[in-house]
Chains A and B, each alone.
Chain A
Amino acid sequence: MTALLELENVRAGYGSTSVLHGVSLSVLEGQVVSLLGANGAGKTTTLRAITGGVRWTGDIRFAGRSLRRTGTEDVVRRGIAHVPEGRGICTELTVDENLKLGSHLRRDKAEVAKDYDRVFEYFPVLKERRRLSASTLSGGEQQMLALARALLMRPRLMLLDEPSLGLAPIVVRSIFEIIRSINQTSDVAVLLVEQNARIALDLSSSAYVLEVGRVAVHGASAELQDNESVRRSYLGY
């Protein structure tokens, strides 16, 4: 299998502070990969580098083409949906308008309609609240909206930044079930950033652990789960 996303020795930072000190990782077509690590390790910055939110050096390739000097909008148009930290909901707009922003670039009308049906099957609450302002949604519902919107982009790769953050455990479980289902039914690859290592490793096939801007551990998710010293020192459980 060929790598869909490849980061090679990526360095990035904010102004004069460097945050990533040479991160390499890869996500295969249709694969779920966890990106774990303590607060401040550089997980969010890694995702931002991929979609051009921070300057980086090294190389990032998506579907065989480098993303160097590609603006965020154009990275996204190549087939990457990035649900950022904080979810990126447009709270000035309605639920429906947020969803439309997910599909606004697509011309395959019939397929879009099917995707809407799927989205509302996954998240019936969004259908009920279509006309309401997105600001009226609860945290969990906003996370659902963000995922739904990403799904409507029909991406080849989803970047999810802590989808479990601030949500009740039961909501987290149902959201992860849906991520699994999205990955399986539409063959979307997922790069999943999580603090909650246990639930992320359950879902992913491979995982990277970042420590202060470097990959400290890398391996199959199952192996990491079984390795007690890795779990203790990096994953906190």
Chain B
Amino acid sequence: MQEFLQLVVSGISTGAIFASLALALVLIYNAMGLVNFAQGEMAMFATFIAYTLVNAGMSFWIAFPVTMVLAFGGGILIQRVVIRPVERAPVLTLVIITLGLATLVNGVAGFLWGYVPRSFASPFSPDSVDLGGVFISYRDLGVIAVSGLVLLAIYLLLQHTTVGLTLRAAAHHPEASRLLGVHVSWMLALGWGLASAVGAVSGMMVAPILLLEPNMMQTIIIYAFAAAVLGGIESPLGAVVGGLLVGVTVNLAGAYIPNAGDLQLAFGLGIIILVLILKPNGLFGRAATRRV
């Protein structure tokens, strides 16, 4: 039982990382009707920036928000320069462009920092806290707390501010929003900025667990896809719940199914396929009905 609880908590911690990246996917899905295949690479790139800042002597807790701001700006820049010119292109064009973007970002990171994995020091203590026989590591708690705060901030921004309202309106009803004076194109750029920043959080949280190298996010992004699809791809809340569910499930499966380690990724893909077959709208997705 204790082991089970420990596994659940560390699953929630991993899940929080998936949730951040899944939320990034959902934000952009809502902004352009398509998942951004470069999301993981963008997060990796941001993490390298954080790494560089920390190596230059900056404290992690300063490098963290600085990186988020830079990632935010980078997301907006990518939307303006790369995505906006092809906004009205067919979906397949956009898919190829985001795939190309992924390759490009990966290549630039490799060029700048090389492919040798580097260790990224965790900002949290390696100790554990004993909660009645259940040992929970500060690292897990730290990841949960930081991700939780960021996700909460995004939630408050989207649901309780005017900017958040216009952003949601622009994403779901661009034509109607324009007629209400919403600068839709800028709102979509803002969506990209937010997605990029929240994705960066997942990278900075996962780097101390994995090793930092240009391909670091390539497995994480599969889990994030699974989480986003599970949550219903359009739902920010769904992405978070989906992320936590995938994190806990994968963690438990890894511990209790013999030799599952090699199969974990297949597990993530399995979740995607199962959800698409059994519940195509995901847990929180709305069935696409519209009143006339």
Q: Answer yes or no: A51 CB below 8 A from chain B CBs.
A: yes
- Taking a contact as CB atoms under 8 Å apart, the answer to whether B168 and A82 are in contact is no
Binds A, one of B21-29, B79-87, B174-182: B174-182
Binds B, one of A3-11, A13-21, A70-78, A193-201: A70-78
Q: Answer yes or no: B121 CB below 8 A from chain A CBs.
A: no
- Taking a contact as CB atoms under 8 Å apart, the answer to whether A90 and B176 are in contact is yes
- With A91-B290, A93-B168, A135-B291 already in contact, the answer to whether A102 and B180 are too (CB < 8 A) is yes
Q: Answer yes or no: B172 CB below 8 A from chain A CBs.
A: yes
- The interface centre, meaning the residue of A81, A104, A149, A153 with most chain B CB atoms within 10 A of its CB, is A104
- Taking a contact as CB atoms under 8 Å apart, the answer to whether A101 and B166 are in contact is yes
- With A100-B162, A104-B162, A135-B291 already in contact, the answer to whether A92 and B168 are too (CB < 8 A) is yes
Q: Answer yes or no: B183 CB below 8 A from chain A CBs.
A: yes
Chain B residues contacting A81 (CB-CB under 8 Å) are: 179
Complex Cα distance, B219 from A73, in Å, reads 41
Chain B contact residues, majority secondary structure: helix
- Taking a contact as CB atoms under 8 Å apart, the answer to whether B181 and A105 are in contact is yes
Q: Answer yes or no: B169 CB below 8 A from chain A CBs.
A: yes
For chains A and B in complex, what number of residue pairs have CB atoms within 8 angstroms?
67
Q: Answer yes or no: A89 CB below 8 A from chain B CBs.
A: yes
CB nearest neighbor in A for B175:
A88
A106-125: CB near B (< 8 Å → 1, else 0) gives 00000000000000000000
Category for how many chain A residues contact B: 20 to 34
CB nearest neighbor in B for A142:
B291
Complex Cα distance, B175 from A84, in Å, reads 10
Chain A residues contacting B291 (CB-CB under 8 Å) are: 91, 135, 139, 142
- With A105-B181, A135-B291 already in contact, the answer to whether A97 and B176 are too (CB < 8 A) is no
We find that the number of chain B residues with CB closer than 8 angstroms to chain A is 20
- Taking a contact as CB atoms under 8 Å apart, the answer to whether A149 and B173 are in contact is no
Chain B residues contacting A92 (CB-CB under 8 Å) are: 168, 172-173
Q: Answer yes or no: B165 CB below 8 A from chain A CBs.
A: yes
- Taking a contact as CB atoms under 8 Å apart, the answer to whether A88 and B181 are in contact is no
Chain B residues contacting A139 (CB-CB under 8 Å) are: 291
Q: Among A51, A73, A86, point to the contact of B182 (Cβ < 8 A).
A: A73
B22 → chain A closest CB, angstroms: 20
Closest 10 CB pairs of A and B: A88-B176, A92-B172, A72-B178, A76-B181, A90-B173, A101-B180, A77-B181, A82-B179, A73-B183, A105-B181
Q: Give me 16 A-to-B residue pairs in the complex whose CB atoms sit less than 8 angstroms apart, sorted by A's number.
A: A73-B184, A77-B181, A84-B175, A88-B176, A91-B290, A93-B165, A97-B165, A100-B165, A101-B180, A101-B182, A102-B180, A104-B180, A104-B181, A105-B181, A135-B290, A139-B291
